[in-house]
Amino acid sequence: MSQNRKFEITDARGGAAFAVRVVTRADVSEIVGTQEDGALRVRLVASPAGDPAANQELLNLLAAHLQVEPNRIEIVAGANGRDKMISVEGITTADLDARFGGLKADD
């Protein structure tokens, strides 16, 4: 898999999709910024990144931030790794930009 892929928020059928890079073993779960490739960078307390508990923690964190029900968010690719593709039903790219648009690149 190429590490040079450019991830962007894209419209999906009935919603929108975006890339996330998960960093585990954090003191607190939080959305910390974006990466150079455009992926959202998220820190989670649970570990490892592909563990079902970490995936659920990620979905709950994103649902709270996006103000949607957790069952409207799905990991559509990368469930077993750190790099994931997330799909959110019933939300537009404009909604995602409004909620994540103020995030800066994380160093």
CATH of residue 67's domain is: 3.30.1200.10
Total domains in the chain come to 1
Q: How many helices (H) and strands (E) does the chain have?
A: 2, 6
Structural domain range at position 40? 10-100
- Please name every residue paired with 79 in a beta bridge, in sequence order, or none if there are none: none
Residue 3 has pLDDT above 70, yes or no: no
pLDDT score at 60: 95
A 10 A CB-CB count for 64 gives 12
pLDDT, tens digit, for every residue of 42-58? 999 988 888 999 999 99
User: Which amino acid is present at 33?
Assistant: G
Q: Where is average pLDDT lowest: 35-39, 59-63, 99-103? A: 99-103
In a domain, 33, yes or no: yes
- Mean pLDDT taken over the chain: 83
Residue 16 has pLDDT above 60, yes or no: yes
In a domain, 106, yes or no: no
In a domain, 107, yes or no: no
In a domain, 96, yes or no: yes
In a domain, 5, yes or no: no
In a domain, 4, yes or no: no
Which has the closest alpha carbon to 59: 48, 46, 75? 75
Structural contact between residues 101 and 31, judged by C-beta atoms closer than 8 angstroms: no
